[in-house]
Structure 1
Amino acid sequence: MEYSGGIQASLSGRYATALFELARNENKLDAVGQSLAALKQALAESADLSALVASPLISREDAGKAISAVSSSIGIDPLTANFLGVLAKNRRLGALSAIIRDFTTLSARHRGETTAQVVSAHALDDNQMATLKTRLKSMVGSEVSVDASVDPSILGGLIVRLGSRQIDGSIRTKLNALATAMKG
């Protein structure tokens, strides 16, 4: 069954598809999804963990040991922990963020949801996230899963990517447009 819609064309997509199919076949999609969400949060909060997954200087063995320790400390399920070990062994931990993003997209499609990638200048609170999901649902006509990230350089507003559409309501883009218009 084809879920990827072009995701398999990338390295991260191939790994995400493999993990997705394995999790689906073992009825562990929810557990793997929760583990990857916890890992994504840990990557965002820990500079050391981000450096570990990004560094090509760390040996395969050391990366495997470190990722195993991290997995047990944040409660990663065994399937995801094994997958992370494979990534470390194959020197693919650098693609972990993209793999998590692609897995999330595949899972959302499997549940009949659309995934929206949302960039904001600061983290959205629960109320803002609920309002955003409601508005996106009315635009799309189906449930929307939001993959939120923070980029302070946009100054304010949101950038929303929904499929092939991008809605850029960031202050940075508006200021750049104004500067271009003033140049004449």
Structure 2
Amino acid sequence: MNGASREALAAARERLDALTDNTSVDVAKLAGELAAVTAMLDREVSLRRVITDPAQAGEAKAELVGRLLNGQVGGETLDLVSGMVRSRWSRPRDLVDALEELADTAELTGAHRSGALDDVEDELFRFGRIVASSTELRAALTDRTAPGSAKGALLASLLGGKAHPVSERLVARLVTHPRGRSLEAGLESLSKLAAERRSRMVATVTSAVPLSDVQKQRLGAVLAKLYGRQMHLNLDVDPTVLGGIVVRVGDEVIDGTIADRLSEATRRMAG
């Protein structure tokens, strides 16, 4: 997002944080209602344009949203959405993207409250690895012609009772309402949001063999010192790296594997 949308999203995040700091707020209900509003505005292109039209007064747009959502969502959700439509957005789609982010953040806040955020982070990462390893599963979950109910049933068979309810809801919404994103991009976005709940960055670590607890602690400490922030480590095992580790933080890759050094040596010899 750029310009006005970035500022509007920052303000919406602050309002959401203020809401979810109140432990009496049902964050799962809030997340579900925000997701429902996201889906509605994603479908209703004309409505989306009207409530983001900079030529319309913010209060008039808030009143329109109030009439549409009154009785459909709770007061917290209505106040939050009304505040968002009063803001200025660079593109109509930015509002919907922001609502989706707030819905996901509310879910993750609930996991954080219950002490389950680490489990949710790990489950999202593991699910991504399972999908990446099975072309048939990925095809079934991303088939645009398949009804959402069929995808939901498939997810229920995979995750039902085996993952935290927050993980199940997040993955189900991503699969049934991808909104143009790839499954991999959506899971990575969720992983980043989860890390941000406690101001941590995400490092994906690939090693030839599983790391010991001591190695994980040392690596986490080194990366935290290097980047100036706490790190959540998503751990993956790939025997093809031959030894050492590969660490990816955002777009940056730190490769310390034997395979990489052998490749470099081969390139130098060839040169």
TM-score scaled by length of structure 1: 0.69
Give the conservation status (yes or no) of the 8 Å contact 1:113–1:143. Answer: yes
Structure 1 residue 35: Cα displacement: 3.5
- 1:4-153 matches, within 5 Å, as 17=101, 19-23=103-107, 27-30=109-112, 31=116, 34-35=119-120, 37-41=122-126, 44=129, 51-55=136-140, 59-60=146-147, 61-77=149-165, 79-90=166-177, 95-153=182-240
Mapped to 2, the partners of 1:69 and 1:43 lie a distance apart of: 16
**1:36-74 deviations in whole A, cap 9, x for unaligned?**
523543565699987434435693332221212333231
Q: Which moved more, 1:46-55 or 1:83-92?
A: 46-55
Larger Rg belongs to: 2
Alignment identity in percent? 23
Aligned to 1:157: 244
Distance 1:48 1:153, change over 3 A: closer
Which structure 2 residue ranges, 5 or more long, are not aligned? 1-8, 14-96
Mapped to 2, the partners of 1:16 and 1:120 lie a distance apart of: 34
DSSP 3-state at the match of 1:68: helix
Distance 1:37 1:117, change over 3 A: closer
Give the conservation status (yes or no) of the 8 Å contact 2:201–2:229. Answer: yes
Counterpart AA for 1:74: K
Structure 1 residue 163: Cα displacement: 4.2
DSSP 3-state at the match of 1:149: strand
Counterpart AA for 2:157: A
Give the conservation status (yes or no) of the 8 Å contact 2:205–2:245. Answer: yes
Counterpart AA for 1:130: Q
Distance 1:63 1:118, change over 3 A: same
Structure 1 residue 154: Cα displacement: 1.7
Distance 1:52 1:157, change over 3 A: same
TM-score scaled by length of structure 2: 0.50
Structure 1 residue 179: Cα displacement: 0.9
- Higher relative contact order (CA closer than 8 Å, sequence separation 6+): 1
Q: CA RMSD in A?
A: 3.6
Mapped to 2, the partners of 1:20 and 1:66 lie a distance apart of: 21
Give the number of aligned pairs: 171
Structure 1 residue 156: Cα displacement: 1.2
Which structure 1 residue ranges, 5 or more long, are not aligned? 4-12
Mapped to 1, the partners of 2:261 and 2:194 lie a distance apart of: 34
Aligned to 1:177: 264
Structure 1 residue 125: Cα displacement: 2.2
Distance 1:98 1:46, change over 3 A: closer
Give the conservation status (yes or no) of the 8 Å contact 1:108–1:145. Answer: yes
